Copies of this chain bind each other. A is one copy, B any other.
C-alpha cells in the first residue's frame, strides 16, 4: 500500500474535494458505515462508495466489510504522506524565502 512520490498528486486531489473532506471530518468522530456517511452529505451511497475508493487508495481511510455493512475509519497513512511532503519541502522553500532581496541576478543560468 506504500505510496510513491508521484502519487502525491493523487493525495492532494483526494483532499481537494469537499465531499471527501466532509467524509474525513465525519470519520474523526468515529467509524461509520457507507450509508451513515451518505446521509448527512446529501449524496447517494454510490457516490460515497466511489469517494471511499479513492480515499482508501490514497491512504486516508481503511474499510472492512462485516456482514452487509462496510465499516470505515481513518487511516493515518494519507495524513503522514502530507506531513512528509511538508517536511520534505520546508527546507527547500525556506532557502529561497530568505533570499527575497536578490530576486534578479539568478536568471542568467537560463537558455
Could you list which residues of chain A lie within 8 angstroms of chain B, going by C-beta atoms? 8-10, 12-13, 15-18, 21, 27-28, 30-33, 36, 39, 64, 71, 73-74, 76, 79, 82-83, 85-86, 89-90, 92-93, 95-97, 99-100, 103-104, 106-107, 109-111
A-B contact pairs, 25 of them (CB 8 A): A10-B16, A12-B12, A13-B13, A28-B89, A28-B93, A28-B96, A30-B96, A30-B99, A31-B106, A31-B107, A32-B107, A32-B110, A33-B107, A36-B111, A71-B107, A73-B100, A73-B103, A74-B96, A76-B97, A79-B86, A79-B89, A79-B90, A79-B93, A82-B85, A86-B86
Asked if A82 and B79 make an inter-chain contact with CB atoms under 8 angstroms apart, the answer reads: no
Copies in the complex: 2
Asked if B31 and A103 make an inter-chain contact with CB atoms under 8 angstroms apart, the answer reads: yes
- Grouping DSSP codes into helix (H, G, I), strand (E, B) and loop, the A interface class, with mixed when no group exceeds half, is helix
Which residues of chain B have C-beta atoms less than 8 A from A9's C-beta? 15-18, 21
Which residues of chain B have C-beta atoms less than 8 A from A28's C-beta? 89, 92-93, 95-96
Partner of A104, one of B13, B31, B36, B92: B31
